[in-house]
Chain A
Amino acid sequence: MTLKRLLGLDTRAERYAFASDPELGYVSAQKIPDRWVPTTCGYCSVGCGMFIGVKDGRAVSVRGNPDHPVNRGMLCPKGLSEHHTIGAENRARFPLMKQGGRFARVSWPIALSAMAGRFREVQARYGRDAVGVISTGQLVTEEFYALGKLTQLGLGTRNYDGNTTLCMSTAVAGYKRSFGSDGPPGAYEDFERADVILLIGANIADNHPILCRRLEANPGATLIVVDPRVTKTAMLADVHLPIRPRADLALLNGLIHIIIERDLVDHEYIERHTTGFDALRDSVSSYTPEDVAQITGLGPELLHRTASLYAGARAAFIAWTMGVNHSTKGTETVNAITNLALITGNIGRAGAAPFSITGQCNAMGTREAGFASSLPGYRAFENRAHRAELAALWNVPADRIPDARGLAYPDIIEAALDKRIRALWIIATNPIVSFPNLGALTQALEGLEFLVVQDGFHPTPTTAFADLVLPAAIWGEKEGTYTNSERRVSKANRACDPPGEARTDFDIFLDLAAALGVRDEIFPGWTGPRDGFDEWRRVSAGRLCDYSGMTYDAIEAHGGIQWPFGTQGTQNPEETRRLYTDGVFQTPDGKARLLPVHWEPFPEQPTGDYPFVLNTGRTVEHWHTRTKTANVPILERLSPRAWVEMNPRDARVLRLKARDRVDVVSRRGRMRGVELRVTETIAPGEVFVPFHYAEANANQVTQSAFDPVSREPNYKQSAVRIERGSTPNSQYPTPKRSPGRLGIGSWKLGVDSRVERKDRGR
């Protein structure tokens, strides 16, 4: 502090000055940029259009794009402060290689040749599939497409999956089983055009707040919210169904039972566009309102009323998120949702659709570009014609293309535990905070021979386990496309240069391909994302997710374009597009499948020792594992730490009071010293924690239970007990393996003597 400031002669007036900007208006002068770069938000999949304000090469402000059809200029608190992520202090800046237990800076050529060499070495010794790749929903579609090609054709391993399996794979699996293909059928406009909106396990007020505007715009609609908690969204509802944990499948079957019983079904739609109605009718016959009331805790009258509302609607819309997906019965619950929509004909019309609201900004892009649960363009590994089509497009022999998917994310971790996977490449995700049952994961990562973590941030809890850290550009530093939940392809653009030597993931993939000696074959003549986009347009042509009619310019001009948008016909890029408007589905016979599915109790029931059912979720201020938002001061200020919600009746029994520090204990681990929030918004017998906080990591207590079809974890409904608290965790888990046993010493490394910045506490 200067003397002038101490005396008060200086009040930092210039820092707090105001000035006028043509776009922002009269505003703090430090927020006024030299130029505006249009882009799409990089947090959730709502896909809001916005501009980044750049001054002297730094991002200084953002503003919503008033002409963007998704958000009409509005942004959520994360979007409003998103420019702070770019200049965050904990950005990864240089390639780092661990030597003797410490990270040392290396050059890019050395990093990539070491990576290629180690992967080839592991594959030579243990087989091609001994290398696994775990990606993300954070990259642009061009990068997903390039990464898939690099992994399947270049590295030659099938064991490739993304963190999208922790999030949306259940919706994908459910859509495929019911409709023959992935692809959310509806559009955001349906929120405004439906007369009944049923939200199941979807707390959009916290997680997708900009979608709440659509509810406001449709005041005549009846909003029904199914959620075991009184969430912010439940508080907006006309009818809140405070269901018992994971009773949603029973509820849906019960509604179908009532609707069939009272003959409220759409016979014509069922007849013309579905198969399996008889089996469905038989399967729900046991779901009488009385039995379903027992399971769900909702009275028979409420069930009848809900069934009447839904089936009586001119257009009924169902949207769901993680409450449905994070479940061992998730895929079947999705099928129950699609069953309900199909038998009432609520699909393919304005306001009528079953609709999954996705998590990450481009989880949809990774589903389209594929290579994980399906081949690019929603093609099937198992389909010989699909494989031949791709082989021809890529000019490679058809036998280079795998005929079955490799391991899904949880199975890759399990394979690492029993040494079938020996080397792993983790891209733009932070499993130490996001993967269930932390103890099993750390054991798996510690047992690897080589772990590469490619991320925009370092240190993160996961980079601490890495042998090699590759610094990547993040949102605002690279170009490409994101697909949002309503299949709208929007453009993300580069506003700033990445820090230090960080590079775009796209460039890293191209150079790794060169190091592997496959660049010319799989990326012929490619120099930038536009090349990836052009090839992807050809690959997607004629598929459900058809991009072939799109160009970067057209996408920018229209604020995103919804697929399918092929070159055929004269589609208006700005019209709202829905899938299955003609009732023709992606199955061989063109009919949707009605699938009998059955409710089961959740796997880990509460016991005397673990009497509470633990629910997990989010808060509006933070994003996923907080690598980004913990570095945005205003968001961190508004939501500085984790908490545990408990009903006052339970707190009285345990003699706990508000703001006590408690431990959440399961059979697998313990969250330490978390602040208690005593609240009536949660049911007795249940507790809730947010999952964002590495310091109070919910995955220390969650279980290893996965959906048999989608492989999505059952994050919710762990049996826990609450104890008076111990000292909070001050640090993330750190790797225990002995330094130097990783064998990267065999590579002649020109290690830079400059050592990386000291790891901060987190």
Chain B
Amino acid sequence: MALPLLRRTTEDDVRFVMTPTIRLRAEASAEAGLRNGGASKARGQSIETRMPAGLPQPGEQYRFHVDMGSCIGCKCCVVACNEQNGNPASINWRRVGEIEGGFFPAASRSYLSMGCNHCVDPTCLSGCPVDAYSKDSVTGIVRHSADACIGCQYCTWNCAYGVPQYNAERGVVGKCDMCYGRLEHGQSPACVSACPEGAIAIELVDIADWRAATAASAPGRGLPAQDGSLSTTRVTMPAHLPPNGRPVDLSHVTPEHAHWSLVFMTVLTQLSVGTFVVIWVLQLIGESTRLGTAAVTSLAVAALALGGATLHLGRPAYAYRALKMWRRSWLSREVALFGAFSVVAGLYAAALWGPAAFAKASAPGSAAALGGLSALLGIAGVTASACIYRVPSRPAWNTRFTLLQFNLTAAALGPLLVLAVGASDARGLASAAATMAGAQLLLVALRFVRLVATDSIELRGTARLLSTTLKPHFLARGVLLGAGGVVLPLVAAGSVLPWIAFVLALAGEIAGRYLFFVSVVPQHMATPYLELGSEAA
């Protein structure tokens, strides 16, 4: 692939990388010294000096350079980007954060304009289940295909910079592509063209050098810690940034999106898996009353969960595409494993519940094998689910506790459902449920302690949310699970109480999962002090 106009011809005065309206002559002065960060000296100079001297050589790519010393916080780049891409006001592929420090009158506020960082190893790309992302082999630009995208929004979690944004009007994600189409036509990107101060530039970066330089230095202020994706954006800090300069939003946390369809999908799939595991164990140890009913109920729950999960997608009709990247994406693996689980578990349920003829025809051994396979696929599915949330940019999720939490949900709710449909060995089921629910409560407590006793800004933010805004939800989650998962099973006697116990515990787990989603504080770039407003009129 070639970007023809980016090959600069200097000898015969042919212009390069120009909007047709910016009729500046290619000046000889623009030739020199631009390959390695020459743009930092480009304050107030012509737009030429803010564009790379040519196509990247092997081992190089394009990147943004942002000069915070020149930026006056006018936000022309944000407006120009939205106009360029025809995005609604609520979606901003370029944003301007604020970093403040010092003491009056030696105070300063600096502005950090950021689009996509066009990472060397982009996490949006590696997590995508449908291969909607690509890293351009010539320029290194990370591109996204709206046609391929199914709107799962996994990339919006994976990116530590909050770059990909979901467009509900379209049902797909979108992001800054460095105005790839403009570059291809020999034009400078909208933000570069619109900046009155010449603070944004495109330049070449030697990837190996950059990797070494980045490893040796701390991230710039207003930027999250490097997560291995290797952001390429070069930020020139202002000359006199006070030592206490920090993003103005640092101590400000607000709950994240709840993703209700995912709250139900994850809890219900875990319930279903837990139930099948219990059924299988009961079958193995020879208890067989009402197992069929339990299996069919559980199967219905799984179907509901998986069907409901597609509603999370912006484009449910293309849910099947999510299988595509199973070699790379945990989301693909989850879909594949739960798909297989539902098929095998369906056969297992049929074996347990089906007409006597079928039951007789199938040897008990093969039914048990189906049960074992269901359990295996189910646990693998729950594990894949948990791994989806192991994203470095969301520290509250990125822990082994998530894997434990998801499996304990299965382990606590499974026995309770089987108990509720009236399978035998109530005592054993009740003590299993109580043990697992107790473990889950212990985990909740441990997790909170971990949040409080950390240096991570994001984790402390999660703790603050749970102890302030979300405190009532947090308490309710504990009480519901304690009552339904521990207390009632231990005192359960009549036939109604197990159902009440199950419903309370399920409600507790749903509340817990809701908190899981809303209390996460993502890593992010500095933002403005005033939260961005909703789109007007």
Expressed in whole angstroms, the minimum distance between the Cβ of A567 and any Cβ of chain B is 33
**Residues 1-32 of chain B, each 1 if its beta carbon lies under 8 Å from chain A, else 0:** 00000000000000000011111000000000
When the two chains form their complex, are residues B79 and A77 in contact, meaning their CB atoms are under 8 A apart?
yes
Q: Does B89 contact A (CB under 8 A)?
A: yes
List, in ascending order, chain B residues with CB within 8 A of A603's CB. Answer: none
- Which residues in window 215-243 of A have CB below 8 A to B? 216-217, 219, 230, 232, 235-236, 240, 242
When the two chains form their complex, are residues B532 and A66 in contact, meaning their CB atoms are under 8 A apart?
no
List, in ascending order, chain A residues with CB within 8 A of B170's CB. Answer: 11-12, 16
List, in ascending order, chain A residues with CB within 8 A of B103's CB. Answer: 680
When the two chains form their complex, are residues B89 and A636 in contact, meaning their CB atoms are under 8 A apart?
yes
Q: A25-B20, A230-B107, A631-B537 are in contact. Are A20 and B86 (CB under 8 A)?
A: no
The interface size of chain B toward A, counting residues with CB under 8 Å, comes to: 72
Q: Does B439 contact A (CB under 8 A)?
A: no
Q: Does A13 contact B (CB under 8 A)?
A: yes
Q: Does A74 contact B (CB under 8 A)?
A: yes
When the two chains form their complex, are residues B86 and A683 in contact, meaning their CB atoms are under 8 A apart?
no
Most buried by B among A23, A74, A219, A630: A74
Selected contact of B533 from candidates A26, A236, A641, CB within 8 Å: A641
Alpha-carbon gap, A689 to B396, bound state (A) = 37
Q: Does A81 contact B (CB under 8 A)?
A: yes
Selected contact of B181 from candidates A26, A212, A634, CB within 8 Å: A26
Selected contact of B171 from candidates A5, A25, A30, CB within 8 Å: A5
List, in ascending order, chain B residues with CB within 8 A of A31's CB. Answer: 83-84, 86
Alpha-carbon gap, A216 to B198, bound state (A) = 9
List, in ascending order, chain B residues with CB within 8 A of A230's CB. Answer: 104-105, 107-109
When the two chains form their complex, are residues A681 and B536 in contact, meaning their CB atoms are under 8 A apart?
no
Q: Does B529 contact A (CB under 8 A)?
A: yes
List, in ascending order, chain A residues with CB within 8 A of B104's CB. Answer: 230, 242, 647, 680-684
List, in ascending order, chain A residues with CB within 8 A of B315's CB. Answer: 7-9, 11
Nearest chain A residue, comparing its CB with the CB of B75: A77
Q: A22-B20, A80-B80, A81-B79 are in contact. Are A11 and B533 (CB under 8 A)?
A: no
List, in ascending order, chain A residues with CB within 8 A of B182's CB. Answer: 25-27
List, in ascending order, chain B residues with CB within 8 A of A683's CB. Answer: 104-105
Alpha-carbon gap, A679 to B532, bound state (A) = 19
Alpha-carbon gap, A212 to B197, bound state (A) = 8
When the two chains form their complex, are residues A633 and B146 in contact, meaning their CB atoms are under 8 A apart?
no
Q: Does A213 contact B (CB under 8 A)?
A: yes
Q: Does A205 contact B (CB under 8 A)?
A: yes
Selected contact of A216 from candidates B44, B150, B528, CB within 8 Å: B44
List, in ascending order, chain B residues with CB within 8 A of A681's CB. Answer: 100, 104, 107, 109
Nearest chain B residue, comparing its CB with the CB of A681: B107
Expressed in whole angstroms, the minimum distance between the Cβ of B90 and any Cβ of chain A is 7
**Residues 40-63 of chain A, each 1 if its beta carbon lies under 8 Å from chain B, else 0:** 000000000000000000000101
Nearest chain A residue, comparing its CB with the CB of B44: A216
Q: A8-B317, A681-B107 are in contact. Are A638 and B187 (CB under 8 A)?
A: no
The A-B contact count (CB < 8 A) is 199
**Residues 510-537 of chain B, each 1 if its beta carbon lies under 8 Å from chain A, else 0:** 0000000000000000001111111111
Expressed in whole angstroms, the minimum distance between the Cβ of A350 and any Cβ of chain B is 19
When the two chains form their complex, are residues A28 and B84 in contact, meaning their CB atoms are under 8 A apart?
yes
**Residues 250-292 of chain B, each 1 if its beta carbon lies under 8 Å from chain A, else 0:** 0110000000000000000000000000000000000000000
Q: Does B82 contact A (CB under 8 A)?
A: yes
List, in ascending order, chain A residues with CB within 8 A of B190's CB. Answer: 27
- Which residues in window 513-545 of A have CB below 8 A to B? none
List, in ascending order, chain B residues with CB within 8 A of A212's CB. Answer: 72, 196-197
When the two chains form their complex, are residues A235 and B109 in contact, meaning their CB atoms are under 8 A apart?
yes
List, in ascending order, chain B residues with CB within 8 A of A675's CB. Answer: 530
Q: Does B316 contact A (CB under 8 A)?
A: yes
Q: A23-B20, A66-B23, A675-B530 are in contact. Are A209 and B196 (CB under 8 A)?
A: yes
List, in ascending order, chain B residues with CB within 8 A of A11's CB. Answer: 146-147, 170-172, 315
Expressed in whole angstroms, the minimum distance between the Cβ of B363 and any Cβ of chain A is 43
When the two chains form their complex, are residues B536 and A637 in contact, meaning their CB atoms are under 8 A apart?
yes
Q: Does A643 contact B (CB under 8 A)?
A: yes
Q: Does A655 contact B (CB under 8 A)?
A: no
Most buried by B among A25, A677, A679: A25
When the two chains form their complex, are residues A205 and B536 in contact, meaning their CB atoms are under 8 A apart?
no
Q: Does B169 contact A (CB under 8 A)?
A: yes
When the two chains form their complex, are residues B78 and A77 in contact, meaning their CB atoms are under 8 A apart?
yes
List, in ascending order, chain B residues with CB within 8 A of A587's CB. Answer: none
Alpha-carbon gap, A25 to B537, bound state (A) = 29
Alpha-carbon gap, A232 to B535, bound state (A) = 26
Q: Does A730 contact B (CB under 8 A)?
A: no
Alpha-carbon gap, A741 to B105, bound state (A) = 55
When the two chains form their complex, are residues A8 and B313 in contact, meaning their CB atoms are under 8 A apart?
yes
Q: Does A18 contact B (CB under 8 A)?
A: yes
Nearest chain B residue, comparing its CB with the CB of A78: B79
When the two chains form their complex, are residues B185 and A25 in contact, meaning their CB atoms are under 8 A apart?
yes
Alpha-carbon gap, A74 to B196, bound state (A) = 6
Most buried by B among A30, A630, A680: A680
List, in ascending order, chain A residues with CB within 8 A of B531's CB. Answer: 640
List, in ascending order, chain A residues with CB within 8 A of B146's CB. Answer: 11, 13, 16
Alpha-carbon gap, A240 to B105, bound state (A) = 9
Q: List 25 A-B contacts (CB under 8 A).
A: A7-B317, A8-B318, A9-B315, A11-B147, A11-B171, A11-B172, A15-B86, A20-B185, A26-B179, A26-B182, A27-B84, A28-B85, A61-B83, A66-B22, A75-B196, A76-B74, A205-B73, A230-B107, A232-B109, A236-B72, A620-B74, A631-B537, A634-B89, A638-B79, A681-B107
Which residues of chain B have a CB within 8 Å of any CB of chain A?
19-23, 43-44, 70, 72-76, 78-80, 82-86, 88-90, 92, 100-105, 107-109, 146-147, 150-151, 169-172, 174, 179, 181-182, 184-185, 187, 190, 194, 196-198, 251-252, 313-318, 528-537
With A24-B21, A217-B44, A634-B89 already in contact, 11 other A-B pairs whose C-beta atoms are closer than 8 Å: A11-B146, A26-B179, A75-B194, A77-B75, A212-B72, A232-B109, A242-B105, A633-B536, A637-B90, A681-B100, A681-B109
Report the 7 A-B pairs with minimum CB-CB distance, sorted nearest first. A8-B315, A640-B533, A28-B86, A216-B44, A242-B105, A633-B89, A680-B107
